[in-house]
Structure 1
Amino acid sequence: MIEFERLHHISLVVRDLERAKRFYSDVLHFQEIERPPFKSKGTWYAIGDHQLHLIENPNGETLRKSDIDSGDGHFAVWVKSYKQTVEWLDQANVPYQARPQSVAGFTQIYIIDPDHNVIEFDAAYNS
């Protein structure tokens, strides 16, 4: 049997690494961390005890092209405040779908990055 300890990282494919870095670094303010010198182009981010790995693939055949769809594959980040997250997204002009009274038992906000990867931000009700 496999004994799991924790989730280590999530990898997403992006078509243009510099455009993706502007979004994740400049808009979302994710913390970039050192990446080993792989042959592929990419960048890594720390999200709490976990990591997000972006890998550039200009062909991007597996990348979705449609708008936000919470039923698609995505990753979720727990945030301290639903209200502050919505305010930040509004200021940054990032489109989102907000579910302040989600049946999940917590608030949900969905966005897409420039390559249409879905990102979910979750927070406690009334936060």
Structure 2
Amino acid sequence: MQIHQLNHVNLRTTQLDTMISWYEDVLGLTSGPRPDFPFPGAWLYAGDTAFVHLVGLDGDAGTGSEVELKLEHFAFSATGAEEFEERLRQRGETYRKSELAALNLVAINVWDPDGNHIHVDFRTNV
């Protein structure tokens, strides 16, 4: 067996609608088909792949924030760095841009409404 790529990330949230909007508006993912699970949620797609699975929970938006997350970040590979950075600026999103010359990579780091750290990687040698 050999792992080739990440299939999806599953995130639990008390802000389901806010999170859906953020992943659609900021990352450009689209809501799509999801099995009829007995709990609320959404699957967010890039093309035909549901990369982000959201699970809706009851509680205040800050529930769980007192617990240190074990997942530091997850990442996507993408094209269109300039357009993405402009979208972030227009929306007033907090982000950090890192240039990793040794890897021919620019990583733009963003945080969703629940504070999950995501970086979007753009190749610089294409």
Contact 2:74 2:117 in 1 (8 A): yes
What is the CA-CA distance between 1:3 and the residue it aligns to? 5.4
Which position in structure 1 is the counterpart of 2:64? 61
More off after superposition, 2-11 vs 80-89: 2-11
Contact 1:65-1:116 at 8 Å conserved across structures = no
Specify the alignment match of 1:33 in structure 2: 32
**1:8 shift after superposition:** 2.2
Aligned residue for 2:58, secondary structure, equals coil
**CA gap 1:17/1:65 in 2 versus in 1, 3 angstroms:** farther
Measured after TM superposition, the shift of residue 116 of structure 1 is 0.5
Q: Deviations over 1:39-87 (max 9, x none)?
A: 1111001124542101112344278689xxxx95222111212222111
Shift of 1:19: 1.1
Q: Name the amino acid aligned to 1:57.
A: L
Taking the TM superposition and a 5 Å limit, the aligned residue runs for 1:2-41 are: 2=1, 4=3, 6-41=5-40
* Aligned 8 A contact 1:64 1:117 in 2: no
Unaligned runs of 5+ in 2: none
Are the structure 2 counterparts of residues 21 and 124 from structure 1 closer, same or farther at C-alpha, using a change threshold of 3 Å? same
More strand by share: 2
Structure 2 partner of 1:42: 41
CA distance in structure 2 between the partners assigned to 1:100 and 1:5 by the alignment: 25
Q: Secondary structure at 1:116's aligned position in 2?
A: coil
Structure 1 vs Structure 2 CA RMSD: 2.9
Letter of the structure 1 residue corresponding to residue 39 of structure 2: S
Of stretches 30-39 and 18-27 in structure 1, the one that deviates more from structure 2 is 18-27
- Shift of the 126–8 alpha-carbon distance from structure 1 to 2, 3 Å rule, reads closer
Identical positions, percent: 26
Number of residues of Structure 1 aligned to a counterpart in Structure 2? 122
Structure 1 partner of 2:116: 117
* Separation of aligned partners in 2, 1:111 and 1:102: 20
3-state secondary structure, aligned to 1:100: strand
Tell me: CA distance 1:113–1:64, structure 2 relative to 1, closer, same or farther (3 Å): farther
Q: Distance in 1 between matches of 2:71 and 2:3?
A: 25
Aligned residue in 2 for 1:98: 97
Q: Which consecutive unaligned segments of at least 5 residues does structure 1 have?
A: none
Scaled by the length of structure 1, the TM-score of the pair is 0.77
